[in-house]
Amino acid sequence: MKPAKQLYPLLENPRNIVITMHQKPDGDAMGSALGLYHFLKSIGNTVAVISPTNWAKFLDWMPGCEDVLDYEFHTQNCNQLVNSADMLFCLDFNSMHRTKKMETLLLGVKCVKVLLDHHEQPMEEHFDYGVSDILKSSTCEIVYDFIVRSPFADRLNLVMATCIYTGIMTDTGSFRFPIVKADTHKAVAHLKELGLQHSIIHENIYDNFLENKLRFLGNALLHRLELIYEYNTALMVIPKRDIIKYDIQTGDTEGLVNYLLMMEGIKLGALLIDRNEERKWSFRSKGDFDVNEMARLYFEGGGHKNAAGGRSSASLEENAIRFKEVIKQYEDQLI
Ligand code: 5GP
Ligand code: MN
């Protein structure tokens, strides 16, 4: 994989470009895809953004979101777009299986492939160009660098700034995670100079609960949380009946796992949710405990040192039992 800056000369001539991101895109995946979308369009390219699946409603306000195609709903159109693209950008994922049903399509396509990502252990062999930097707060920060270091830096505008800020804010837990650096704040200062309205973005993303979601949260904290004090671990298991009872939609469980680490002394938080197609794990840790490693080894997943995800086709009960066995192997690091 060559450095992304070697791509700039290729951008001088307009092309057909497709941008995609991981399934169930979060603020960073959607923000980086849309920030890059507006930028590449501004320099004359024809650009399509494809999400492998649907996304949370709280992202719909983002400029350009109305143009994003859901692969599961527009499969034929998306296949055509990808197959006729000159260039494909893959944003905010490190392994192709995170694009779900698009995986085979993306692996087979012959155009120039570019990766912009900040997860650990990326599959660089699939890409011609890219940036994979685990020290960056977010893919949005990588997109920001990609734009401002390009010969087209003057195209950066408020619309792009709005998209980019969204992902930096969501992936850094509103600037509180250790990954935030002076560079992150400098980037945001620059975005502010372009007229960024950060408090409106914060409201759009976070202050959007409906009553059912708040009651779901209350129920989860009261009835679905188990504390395993011997291992400084909190485990929350959400059964399908809660999802149905509280009408929980894509994105409604975002942030739930963070409550587990709010407890003093808890080093590892694990959230297990029964989704239609699989059991979905979210892991968060404080300090040195590496959830990326644990998710890779035991839960078909990965991510970052302090935030990772995973999945399983086994039942909720089997997963919870397995998790309690797995943490015993990490006793030294957890107590
Ligand atoms: P979340 O718990 O919010 O779904 O994911 C936490 C972090 O881990 C995010 O950065 C997400 O992109 C990443 N992640 C989630 N699931 C997976 C997975 O299955 N594989 C990899 N490599 N990363 C994941
Ligand atoms: Mn990200």
Average pLDDT on 135-153 reads 98
- The CA distances from residue 123 to 118, 178, 239, in Å, are 12, 25, 33
Average predicted confidence (pLDDT) for the chain: 97
The one-letter amino acid at 46:
T
- The CA distances from residue 288 to 128, 232, 244, 262, 291, in Å, are 33, 13, 37, 17, 9
pLDDT tens digits along 167-219: 999 999 999 999 999 999 999 999 999 999 999 999 999 999 999 999 999 99
Predicted confidence at residue 115, as pLDDT, reads 97
pLDDT tens digits along 207-261: 999 999 999 999 999 999 999 999 999 999 999 999 999 999 999 999 999 999 9
pLDDT tens digits along 50-62: 999 999 999 999 9
Predicted confidence at residue 277, as pLDDT, reads 84
The conformation of residue 86, written as its DSSP 8-state character, comes to S
What distance in angstroms lies between residue 22's CA and the mean position of ligand 2's atoms?
A: 9
What φ, ψ does residue 102 adopt, rounded to 5°? Answer: -85, -10
Give domain 211-334's CATH architecture: Roll (3.10)
* CB of residue 136 inside a 6 A radius of ligand 1: no
Q: Which residues contact 220 (CB under 8 A, 6 or more apart)?
A: 236, 238, 242, 256
* CB of residue 303 inside a 6 A radius of ligand 1: yes
Cα–Cα distance for residue pair 227/267, rounded to 1 Å: 11
Atom of ligand 1 nearest to the CA of 257: 2
* CB of residue 304 inside a 6 A radius of ligand 1: yes
Other Cβ atoms less than 10 A from the Cβ of 121: the count is 13
Mutating to test ligand 1, I would choose from 98, 124, 271, 311 the residue with most ligand atoms within 8 A of its C-beta, which is 98
Cα–Cα distance for residue pair 62/325, rounded to 1 Å: 42
Whole-model pTM?
A: 0.95
Average pLDDT on 267-276 reads 96
Structure tokens at 33: 């895809």
Q: Is the pLDDT assigned to residue 12 strictly greater than 90?
A: no
Residues of the chain with CATH 3.10.310.30: 211-334
Nearest Cα neighbor of 270 from 323, 217, 333 is: 323
* CB of residue 122 inside a 6 A radius of ligand 1: no
What distance in angstroms lies between residue 171's CA and the mean position of ligand 2's atoms?
A: 6
Predicted confidence at residue 276, as pLDDT, reads 86
Which CATH code of 3.40.50.150, 3.90.1150.10, 3.90.1640.10, 3.30.70.120 fits the domain covering 2-206?
A: 3.90.1640.10
- The CA distances from residue 303 to 119, 125, 268, in Å, are 5, 18, 15
Q: Is the pLDDT assigned to residue 14 strictly greater than 90?
A: no
Residues of the chain with CATH 3.90.1640.10: 2-206
Atom of ligand 1 nearest to the CA of 121: 22
